[in-house]
Structures are given as structure tokens and as C-alpha cells.
Amino acid sequence: MGSAIKKSAHVVVGRRKCARKPWLSDEAFDIVQKKLTARKQGDHQERNRLKRLFDKTAKNDREQFYNRIANESEAEMVRNDLRAAYRAIRDSENNTLAQHSG
């Protein structure tokens, strides 16, 4: 009964993204799941390959995320709305502090 509820919840609701790292794409989460499977099977070479692939994907996702925020802030500044720029600075400082603390 419990597994049926979990299975239907997964189908209906889906997978929840990590709130701490909002820049990670669905592709990165899929790589994490494959890496977990490889670790459980004891396939160290595949796990290491997937780890390198995840690191590369996460770095690219993070760069795209911050570039998008910078572009949106710049567009708002052109319209003389500084609120978005200050919000982007505040959010990027919070993310940086969270990365260094743990």
C-alpha cells in the first residue's frame, strides 16, 4: 500500500528540486540518479565518469543561471528600475554565503 502511494505521488507530483541550488537542471538531477545507481551496483568507473559529467553540467548550469540573472538585472536597470538589480545582488550574496558555509 505504501509503495503504491509513493509511486502515484511520484507520477502526479513529480520530483522536487533542491531549494538550495536553484540553478541545477533536470539533466543534472538525472545524472545524480544514474550516479547513485552505479554506486549501489559497485561500478566505480561509471560512477567516476558520471561524477565528472555532473560537475561539468552543474558548472555550466550555474554559469547560465547567473548570466540570466545578470541579463535580467541589466534590462531592469536600463528601464531605471533598480529593485531587480538590488534583489539579484542580495540573492547572489546569500547563495555565495550558503556555498561557503557547508
- Count CA within 13 A, CB hemisphere, residue 44: 0
- pLDDT-based confidence at residue 16 (cuts at 50, 70, 90): low
Instruction: List pLDDT tens digits, range 25-74.
Output: 889 989 999 999 999 999 999 999 999 999 999 999 999 988 988 888 88
Residue 49: what residue type?
A: R
Asked whether residue 100 carries a pLDDT value surpassing 50, the answer given is no
Specify the pTM. Answer: 0.64
**If you average pLDDT over every residue of the chain, what do you get?**
82
* pLDDT computed for residue 102 by the predictor: 43
**According to DSSP H, which parts of 1-43 are helical?**
2-12, 26-41
Place of cell 540573492: 91
